[in-house]
Amino acid sequence: MNLKSMQTIFLSIVIVLLIVLASRATAQIMKIAVPTTGYEKNSLISEETGRAPFFLFFDEKGNFLEAIKNPAKNQSGGISRMVVSLLSDKNVTMIIAESIGDKMKQALIAHNINFTNNTGIADDAVKTIIKKQ
């Protein structure tokens, strides 16, 4: 093996290791979603997850990141798949909801998204969950 081939192999190994380490670091950061009745962090957690009017997103420290309208709210079917796909695209690792149906639970598990039940104000629920972590 010549020097150029060895350098190429070494560089390839380093790149693969960097990608693996970067993906693990990203995967460990918690991002929380909360289905709510409003778009502000002090909105109430919605009684329904799939048909909630909004989803609020918080980082691992409980900082409010953004609110979006739920695109699945008025769908006639496939709501669980659509919501979980949205959460997965947003890199959500945890959802806090008042209630989660069986189809939604299965979809969340399939996408490695943790879930827990809580009621009340979204911001308060997020802070409570973070304290327990």
Task: Express each pLDDT in 79-103 by its tens digit.
Answer: 999 999 999 999 999 999 999 999 9
Residue 25 has pLDDT above 90, yes or no: no
Query: pLDDT digit string (tens) for 4-15?
Result: 776 776 666 767
Report pLDDT for 77.
87
Vertex 33 angle, CA 66 and 107, to 5°: 135
The percentage of the chain sitting over the pLDDT mark of 90, rounded to a whole number, equals 72
Choice between 113 and 5, residue whose per-residue pLDDT is larger:
113
What are the tens digits of pLDDT across the range 39-55?
A: 999 999 999 999 999 99
Residue 119 has a CB neighbour count (10 Å cut-off) of 14
Strand order across the 94-97 sheet = 64-69, 54-59, 31-36, 94-97, 114-117
Superfamily of the domain at 30-132: Dinitrogenase iron-molybdenum cofactor biosynthesis domain (3.30.420.130)
Rounded Cα distance between 122 and 110, Å, is: 25
More confident residue, 55 or 75: 55
pTM reported for the whole predicted model: 0.78
pLDDT for the residue numbered 81? 92
d(CA 108, CA 100): 10
CA proximity to 85, closest of 48, 58, 110: 110
Q: What is the mean pLDDT of the chain?
A: 88
Mean pLDDT of 94-118: 95
Query: Which has the closest alpha carbon to 60: 98, 23, 91?
Result: 91
Confidence tier at 114 by pLDDT (50, 70, 90) = very high
